[in-house]
Structure formats: C-alpha cells, structure tokens
C-alpha cells in the first residue's frame, strides 16, 4: 500500500483554503510523523479561510501559517491516498492509488457556527483514516 516507510495522504479541494487545510491540519496533529500529509487545490485561493483557521484554533491546531498550493501531477503520483473534497473531475487519476471522495459542505463564506460541524466531521473521518493506514 505505501510507497515508502510511511503512507502519504493528499487532500484536494478547489481552493485549498478550507476543507483540505483543516483535514491536513488534523491528520498532521493526530498522526504526527506516522503519515506524510499533503494538501492542494485545483484552483488555489489567495489565503486560508480565516473562519477555518479560527475553527481549528479552537481545537488547538494552528493552520494560520499555511498557504494554498496548486495541485500537481507529481503530488498525486507521490501519494498513496488521494482524498478529494468537491474538486470534481479536475483531480488527476492514477491507477493503483486509493481514492476517497469526502462530500463535505464548503466552509467558504460561512460563519463559525456553520464551520464547526464541518470541522468535526473532518476530524471523525481523519480518525477513521488513521486507523485504516496504521
């Protein structure tokens, strides 16, 4: 399953500013150095969603210093698991990779009350992902 000593997970959404950043933050926080964590967007935004930053800060996880990154073919090829979050057909596909599509509401333009349940669902999925990979 893994390409090296530890699995690599790539989180992809359109802007790489909310869902994928929260997921990457949780996976890095909860799995530590057991799993390599990447995130990217098919059309990355200019900055991380400030409400996503606030929601994660409530959990003691700082994603404020992250920057949205453009999705590259190399990132997909380097990953064992590719988790998409609403990027549709813009995500490259490579045979042999494990793909999951997480249907999550988009936190863009939402207040903290709407983003917390998205964050909590991401955490639950991350915990299940860690169990499946370790």
| 87 counts as catalytic | yes
| 13 counts as catalytic | yes
Distance CA 32, CA 50 (A): 24
Distance CA 84, CA 50 (A): 21
Catalytic residue among 13, 129, 130, 133: 13
Range list of H helices, the chain? 19-31, 50-57, 73-77, 112-133
Catalytic residue among 14, 23, 37, 91: 91
Query: Is the separation of the CB atoms in 10 and 39 below 8 Å?
Result: yes
CA distances from 75 to 11, 15, 129 (A): 10, 16, 19
Catalytic residue among 56, 75, 83, 87: 87
**End-to-end CA distance of the chain, in Å?**
11
Q: Catalytic residues, which ones?
A: 13, 87, 91
């Amino acid at each position: 399953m893994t390409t090296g000593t530890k699995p690599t997970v790539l989180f992809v959404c359109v802007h790489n500013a909310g869902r994928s950043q929260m997921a990457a933050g949780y996976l890095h926080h909860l799995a530590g150095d057991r799993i390599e964590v990447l995130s990217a967007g098919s059309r990355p935004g200019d900055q991380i969603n400030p409400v996503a930053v606030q929601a994660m800060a409530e959990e003691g996880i700082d994603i404020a210093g992250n920057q949205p990154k453009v999705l590259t073919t190399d990132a997909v090829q380097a990953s064992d698991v590719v988790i998409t979050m609403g990027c549709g057909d813009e995500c490259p596909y490579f045979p042999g990779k494990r793909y999951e599509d997480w249907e999550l509401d988009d936190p863009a333009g939402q207040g903290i009350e709407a983003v917390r349940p998205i964050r909590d669902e991401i955490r639950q999925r991350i915990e299940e992902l860690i169990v499946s990979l370790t």
